[in-house]
Copies of this chain bind each other. A is one copy, B any other.
Amino acid sequence: MRDPDTRLDGPDLAALAGLLADGTRASFCLALLDGRAWTATELARHAGVAASTATEHLNLLVGGGLLVQERQGRHRYVRLADPETAQLIETLASMAPRRVTPSCSLPAVNRSRALARARTCYDHLAGALGVAITEAMTDRGLLDWEQGLTLTGNGTAWLAELGIVLPPATRRPPVRSCLDWTERRPHLAGTVGAAMCRHAFDSGWITRIGTSRAVALTEIGRRALRDHLGLSGETHTPIS
């Protein structure tokens, strides 16, 4: 009568979920969603816990395979293990019950607005800018949503024209839809999304704002988006 399979796998699944079932560890992972490597102290301060506590959490996350670490001198750098892990955290975050944000101090609001406008989401672009780019690419026939998200022939040509070469096919899909937290609409992820984000940084279209995951569109970037995607200046600077 018992089903040995799902009963035995339960603890495995629970162990993985348990890594993310703590507020502090979840906070770490969400912070690391910017795709960069953080030090232990940075994460501890970010989450508001003691350094020793952060060490214990990082040991668990690294041991569980969600994070990889790299030691440089007296620093311990950690980052998300791979894109699959990033996607798992994104998925959980998008399904998590959202409570009203009680932060209403002026600097907090400014930071929130900057994040809503444009930010990195692991290794691709998100926020109003990411969504606007994705929708512009759809309008111009570079992306197709009919049977799941795909890159069209025109899309491939458009990327080549920009000098973006796609990496050889791996297990990671070339294009993937990623639900945007702030916009509640999908933006472009996958290897194409990552390559475009890298290109945007390399070409000076966008730059990091301080050390946060928020990015700013440069004048060069504004022109590039207008020329290559027909994006007007207003489209990607909306403030809700």
> Footprint of B on A, CB under 8 Å?
1-27, 29-31, 33, 45-48, 64-65, 84-85, 87-89, 91-93, 95-99, 101-103, 108, 111-112, 115, 147-151, 173-176, 190, 212-213
Contacts of A1 in B (CB 8 A): 45
Q: Chain A binding site: helix, strand, loop or mixed by DSSP?
A: helix
Contacts of A46 in B (CB 8 A): 2-3, 6-7
Write 22 A-B pairs (CB below 8 A) sorted by A numbering: A2-B45, A3-B46, A3-B111, A4-B108, A5-B111, A5-B112, A6-B46, A8-B102, A12-B97, A12-B98, A13-B26, A14-B20, A14-B25, A15-B97, A16-B95, A21-B21, A84-B95, A85-B95, A88-B92, A91-B91, A148-B149, A148-B174
- Give A171 Cβ to nearest chain B Cβ, in Å: 10
